[in-house]
Each structure stands twice: as structure tokens, then as C-alpha cells.
Structure 1
Amino acid sequence: MRQHLLDTLHLLDTVPAPRGGERMAAHRLRAWCADRWPHIDWQVLEHGPEGGSLIADHGAGPLLYSHLDTSLDDDGTANSLVTGSSAPVAPLDVEDDTVSGFGLGVARGPAAAALVAFAGAGTGRLLLAGSGTHRRGGRITGLEAYAEAFPLPGSAIVAKCGPPTLLWHEPGALYLTVRLTGRSGAAMAPDSATPPGGVIASSGVVLDELARWRTAYLAADPRTGQTGRACGIGAISGGWPDKPDLLPARLRIDLYVVAGDPVDPTALAAGLADRLRARAAGSELRDCTVDVTAEPVAAAAATPADAPVVKAARTAWHDEFGAQPPPITGWTGSTDGVVLRARGVDTVRLGPQARPATGDPRRDALSVAQLTAYARIYRRLLTELSA
């Protein structure tokens, strides 16, 4: 199993799989799997302009789910504003028990474990989906394409990195976009803009109020079940980099918001807008307009703690690691588990713990022994829940 895992990871490392552009990686992986495990009918489910998912079916049983795409583009250069580097990313390497490479945490490590576990189980279903990471744009995801083409089973196992425990409750997520609009002007005549100097020069007022709003939002967290709240500013934009002698009329700030409890995105956006307008009215931004819009990603969802898939996962965890999975509260990672639960599928999530690799935070490091242990758990759950 260890060698199968490493071989799979080396293959995945050679083919880029940016979100929505996984088709080439899916076809190459299908051909490789068909050669290694010819008794299984490996297929590629294509979706969108360039999306693709690897699927396979042993018959009755749960769905073992992970995804092919990586949060960042594989060459690293297209995401230099996020990573701070445009240098090429080094290839996968293995040293003793540590495997290091790009995209192992999201989600090549657990995806490889899921694939190897499925190949050895002889039962259940596998979906390594394209477009599995949160992203704006509204394109169909691999999971949505799969659900439209095939009936979903009653239970699923989500193979993703996460905390060292089981998750059967995951938070929902949404995006908030703040737009502050004044009047454009010229840098050589600061008073020609509204406010004087332009909206970007006064962005500290908005950022300060967003920090206050974030503090209040987190303080109101009811800590429902295993989950909690989180919020962060992911992007700030305004102006034209090619012509910075012009003072822009608009400032845009994008936030990612997580909620383990039921939250109305529209009401959340309206409340934030009211706060920002009140703050702007008492500042140099008084003559600017404020607009906040919400884009829901998914709502929080939970599987009953006594569901068969959760019980089986608890037992498999105990037998593999020699202890019960530790309790957890305040978890803020949202995955396609919420999508499966929304479609009536009892779902449990578990997987290895990734850490930044030494020397390049764009690369992740995983324990091969731990990855193998989770592969054994996935294989066992496929087998036992298909009985």
C-alpha cells in the first residue's frame, strides 16, 4: 500500500490540475489506474469547458470522495499575489517517512489514499472530483456533475486533510463583497477626488470597521456541534496599476465567512452595510456610497452522530490508532461534505494532517505512515459498509 501511495502521488505531481482544468489529469490518471488495476472500470466524467473527475464503481456501498483540483495553480506563478512567489515549485520528494510536494494538503495526499484504498477494497464507489475547492464563478463542480449522472448512495466518506479526529458536522460558507464608491480624480490634484486623495487613501476607515464587525461576528458564535465561525479578508482591490496617477472611484474588499450555525447571508450583508454606512458618515468617506453583497457557497450541515457511517468510522479509528477520536468544537473548515449532506447522504470526514514543507510554504508535507493508516481506514469502511 505504501508503494502504491507514493507511485500515485508521483503521478499526480506531474500533471497540473487547477480548479476547472483537471480534465487532462483525470484522463492520465484513468489510463494509469487501468494499467495497474485492470479489473476495475475506471472512467472520466467530464464537466464544464475543461473539468474532469475520475470515477469508478465496485457496485453497492458507500461513496469514497476526494478531489483532484488544487487550490492554487500547479506552477505557482499565477498565484504570486497569494503566495508571494512566482518561482517554479519543486517536484515531489520523499525522505524517510515524509513526502513533500505541491497540493498534497489540498488534496493530493488524501486523494491518493482514497484511490489506493478503493482499488484494494473490491466494493463501494470512488469519486475524485474536479472543481472541489471553493471558488467563485458558478461553474458546475465535479460532485454536482456526478450527482446529476448517477444516484448517490446513502453514505459517504470524505477523504481530506483536517484535524486529527472525525468530522460529521461541517460549517457552511459564503463570500461577502464590500464596494465603496466615491469620485475619481487625479493624483496631482488630490482634491479632485471624493474623498480627497481617493477612496484607497481612506481605506483604513473601512478596514477598521470590518475588524470591529469581525470581532462581533465571532463573539456571537454559538459553537454549534463540532463547528464554529471564522471570517477573513481575502482580497482588496482598487485602481489601475498601469496608471496610478489616476485616483480610483471604487474600493472593493472581499471576505470569506464561515458559519457552523444557520446564518442568513442576505441579512448578514445588510447588517454589515449598515455598520459601514454609519462609520463612513462620520469620516472623510461621508459622501461615498457603500454596498455589500453576499454570495452563498453552502449551508452548514450535520450527519447524526449515531449514523452507521459515523459509528463504523469511530470503530475503525479506534482499531487503527488505539484510542477514540478526540472531541472537537469550533471547526471552521467547509468541504463538499456539506453538499453531500444537503442531498441526504450521511457523511463522515477524516484524513491526515498536512503541514507546510520546509523551505517553501507552497509545498505541503505529510507523514507516509499516517497517510497509509488513513488508507487502511478508508478501505475498511468501504468493505464494512457494503456488507
Structure 2
Amino acid sequence: MASGVRRLGTLLRERLLDVLRLLDTVPAPRGRERTAAHRLRGWCADRWPHVAWQVLEHGPEGGSLIADHGAGPLLYSHLDTSLDRDGPGTPLVTGDTTPVGPLDVTGDRVTGFGLGVARGPVAAALVAFAEAGAGRLLLAGSGTHRRGDGITGLDAYTGSYPLPRSAIVAKCGPPTLLWHEPGALYLTVRVTGRSGAAMLAESATPPGGVIASAGVVLAELAHWRADYLAADPRTGQTGRACGIGAVSGGWPEKPDLLPARLRVDLYVVAGDPVEPKELAAGLADRLRARCARSALRDCAVEVEAEPVASAAATPADAPVVTAARTAWLDEFGAPPPPLTGWTGSTDGVVLRAHGVDTVRLGPQAGPAADDPRRDALSLTRLTAYARLYRRLLTESPA
């Protein structure tokens, strides 16, 4: 490797670590990223004063970092993390209430909270943009899928600024290029009987309360999930996925009351066109038929669909995809591997819905060996993606 290239790689690595260390000190829970966005803007303005860094505020506490170098594509990632570091829902997901440790760098490995979603790619995108001198940057607030109708950073941006013809989504993912991403939706299952008292089991419908028969519902959902996945037509690069993310019912502070309602929440991914209402109606019919043969026979069953985004694809020969293939080949010495069955949905689908040709690429993250709440990334690989993003900003169509 030439000494100039080696020095450039060292400089990028140092700047990436500077950004990662800063991000690790500022929480950015979804919808409350404003403090982190302003802190990051001030930090960037000190280091790259030739760039007009701005914070786009949205909602009560949301915020996105934006900047513009002029002609070129949009480089996109998001500031918020999938989990809140100390949020009330985090222990329910992780099963761990101990404090999460700080960022750690050991050799080529960096580990920390939120690196996979999405601080690793954010750092690479930020450094790449500052070095490129071309294109636009959007590090959006509220970029992770979450229930609620609050405005996202991408919504605020598309409502305030004209979009370019092409975009690069900087997110962790498979070791290849993505130009086709699946859509996603939430399904809410509610099974409702009659409440009662724990000391009088027969006072509830069904006797003992609806939660006592939750296994009937969960077993049927498992059968439905298997059928849903088996019907996957594997459209383009994408596939189907489905999982139960939450089960709830009753009042933890007063468990002597038997609840009338069981609620189950599912996350559903589809690369093929799926009509959410039809999917919900079909699942409701199955659950009603199964409950009718059980202690839940006198309970009402409802399934509600909440669309998140529809699957969307950029043509495989679009200029931004072609440019990304060429850059990938030059960086890694081989073409991007083919991919089918991908089930990760990001804001790339939103950009494509606005008519923006979009390609997604980013490093691969995994759980840290000592704490699965922390992600691990290769700094060498992260630096390579920073070089890719920088090149695409200068060589892709605006």
C-alpha cells in the first residue's frame, strides 16, 4: 500500500473514532435527538468551519443534522439508536438492568452502545461528507421504525428541501449493495373476554382469565408465521420475516385482578406486495377459528394492521447503483456478492417513494462478546465504507 493511501486511512480512522467517542457521550433516543444534533453541529463546525452545518428541528424534541456541499447525491443515516441506553423499555428487551459500558477500542475492534443502529455508519457518513466537498448530508432524527405518528427527520427534510435524484443510505447490513428493500407493518392482536378476580377464577371469561390461555393464541400465531414465511416469493433481493415483539395483559401493580384482554404485537416484513388489511383479516379468521375450539371460545378476537412502509426498489442499472458497484469493486477487489431474501427495512423505502434512486451499503456489526447490548465493528471495514461514501458523493449523479 502506498504511503499516501496509508496516511489517508490513518487520518480517516482517527476522525471516525473522534466522532464515535462524541456520539457515545450524548444520548439520542428516538424523537429526542435535538440535544445530540446541536452538540454534533457545534463539534463539526469547529473542525470543518467551511461547511454550513445546521440542525433541522422537528416535533417537540426531535432534531437532525444537515449540511450541503452543493451538487451531488444525498448521504443519509440517522442519529437515533434502536434502543434507549437507559430507557424504560430497554431492560424488557435485553433482560439486563446493569449500566452499559462506554465505547472501547481494542486493536481493530470498536465496541459500544448503538454502533450498529446507527452510530458506526453515522460516523463514516459524517467524515466522508466532510472530506468529499460534494453532495448533501442528512443525519436524521427518528429514523428507526417505531410506533407513533410523530414527524420524522426525513419527513421534515423532504417537506423543507428539494430532493436530489439519488441517495446513499449509510446503514449496517449485509456485505453487499442493496437497491431493493422490503416493506414493513405492525399487527396488533387483541383477544378480549371478561375480567374477574384471582380469588374467584370462575368470575372471569374464560375461567382463570384470558392470559391463562395465551398459549392457544401464541401457538396459532406460530403456525400462521410458518405459513406466511413459506409463501415467500423471494422478490428481487428481498424476503419475508415475522416475529412477536410484545405480549401484554393485566395490571402488574394489582395481579389479584384477572384481565379481560390479551394483546400480542407482531412486526411483519414483506419484500413482495402485501395488503396489510387483508393480512390482518386472514389472521383474525384463523385465530377466531382456533379460539372457538378452546377455552377462549367466548372471547372476541381482533387484528389491526398498522403499515410502516411499502417495499420499493431502485432499478439495478440506475446510475447510483452502477457507481456503487464500480466503487465497491475498486475498494474490495471483487464485485458485490449477489443477495436474495434480505429482510431489513430502512428509510431507503421512503426515499424511493419520493422518486429518489437509492442504494444502501454499510459495515457489518455484531453483538459484543461481553455484552450483547453493545455492538462490535471492525475499524478497518468502517474506514473502507467511509472511503466508499466519499467516492459516491463525488462520482454519483446529483
TM class, shorter-length: over 0.9
- Tell me if 1:15 matches 2:26: yes
State the Cα deviation string for residues 90-122 of structure 1 (Å, max 9, x = none): 010100000100000000000100000000000
- Tell me if 1:98 matches 2:109: yes
1:300-311 to 2 correspondences below 5 Å: 300-311=311-322
1:9 aligned partner, one-letter code: L
State the Cα deviation string for residues 254-292 of structure 1 (Å, max 9, x = none): 000000000000000000000000011111110000000
Aligned match of 1:147:
158
Q: Is the 8 A contact 2:185 2:269 kept in 1?
A: yes
Q: Flag structure 1 segments of 5+ consecutive residues without an equivalent.
A: none
> Which residue of 294, 297, 303 maps to 1:286?
297
> Which residue of 350, 354, 370 maps to 1:339?
350
Aligned match of 2:92:
81
- Tell me if 1:198 matches 2:209: yes
Q: Is the 8 A contact 2:328 2:388 kept in 1?
A: yes
Q: Is the 8 A contact 2:311 2:349 kept in 1?
A: yes
Aligned match of 2:38:
27
Q: Is the 8 A contact 1:77 1:87 kept in 2?
A: no
Aligned match of 1:161:
172
Aligned match of 2:131:
120
2:232 aligned partner, one-letter code: D
Q: Is the 8 A contact 1:124 1:386 kept in 2?
A: no
Structure 1 residue 78: Cα displacement: 4.3
1:250-269 to 2 correspondences below 5 Å: 250-269=261-280
| Alpha-carbon distance in 1 for matches of 2:30, 2:210 | 33
| Alpha-carbon distance in 1 for matches of 2:312, 2:102 | 37
| Alpha-carbon distance in 2 for matches of 1:74, 1:55 | 24
Q: Is the 8 A contact 2:165 2:397 kept in 1?
A: no
* Alpha carbons of structure 1 residues 272 and 163: separation in structure 2 relative to 1, 3 Å: same
Aligned match of 2:223:
212
Structure 1 residue 74: Cα displacement: 2.1
Q: Flag structure 2 segments of 5+ consecutive residues without an equivalent.
A: 1-11
1:46 aligned partner, one-letter code: E
Aligned match of 2:50:
39
Structure 1 residue 85: Cα displacement: 1.0
Q: Is the 8 A contact 2:320 2:397 kept in 1?
A: no
Runs of 4+ more than 3 Å apart: none
> Which residue of 194, 198, 206 maps to 1:183?
194
1:321-360 to 2 correspondences below 5 Å: 321-360=332-371
SS in 2 for 1:271: helix
SS in 2 for 1:349: strand
Percent identity over the alignment is: 82
| Alpha-carbon distance in 1 for matches of 2:145, 2:93 | 15
| Alpha-carbon distance in 1 for matches of 2:295, 2:395 | 65
| Alpha-carbon distance in 2 for matches of 1:182, 1:315 | 60
> Which residue of 66, 87, 111 maps to 2:122?
111
Aligned match of 1:240:
251
- Tell me if 1:383 matches 2:372: no
State the Cα deviation string for residues 317-354 of structure 1 (Å, max 9, x = none): 01000001000100000000000000000000000000
